[in-house]
Structure 1
Amino acid sequence: MRTQTRVIGGLLVAALFTQLAACGTLFYPERRGQIDGRIDPAVAAMNAIGILFFVVPGLIAFAIDFATGAIYLPGGQNAQVAPEALQNLVEADGTVDPLKLKALIELHTGNSLPLDNPSLIQHSGSAEQLAAYGLRPAA
């Protein structure tokens, strides 16, 4: 009986530890720091099991996983570009120079994009979008 009690106690401690540490944060530490994306159903299910058995630790696990971003599936790489760097891309007539854009993307991401691909769809922006980046529309 004493061994059985120790095994049950050990399992209970392990379950509480994983819930307090948050499943996604514990099992996928490389995912921490993500801001958004698709939610990993496995991590959400593990956190939900924690809510079923231990309500407070399960809620804490969800909160930690959302706060750290470990609940999200790994996505593609993101690169943010300063608005000052984007000002060099816009020509005097308000169009974007595709060669400069390609060079800027390659500089920040390390990936060369085929901007001459015929299946590439280009959308025009509004003056408000340009103003948000500190650019002046010219037309």
Structure 2
Amino acid sequence: MRIPSRVIGGALVVTLLTQLTACGTIFYPDRRGQIDGKVDPAIAVLDAIGILFYVIPGLVAFGVDFATGAIYYPRGETAQVDPAKLRNAITPDGKVDNLKLQAILESELGQRLPLDDPRLIQHRGSAEQLASLGLAPAA
């Protein structure tokens, strides 16, 4: 059984077109326009796989992702609250009052965080973490 040359040619064209496009640009079009940042390893690996199979299209994929900025993680928004203000949310027995903490975070960050959500997972801290915040551990 011979496969017609059109099918082989069509498969080759589809393969080359998929390799000529950059993975980050396809998967994360919202990341385009970034200048720098941390490189997303998943996108870098996908581009590197392109180099393994087809050298030139793989290099083009890397070039396009770096040029458009789609290879970088998106910039995250961070917020910080002064640890001195968070002391008001700690009860004398060393436990955190979620209502007070929620009020402090809402006034400082301008966002209401659902600290009373039953899906919220709370982790215990250590004495070192308290010391780094300038708090004395209480038993």
TM-score (norm. length: structure 2):
0.50
Answer with 1 or 2: which has the greater Rg.
2
TM-score (norm. length: structure 1):
0.50
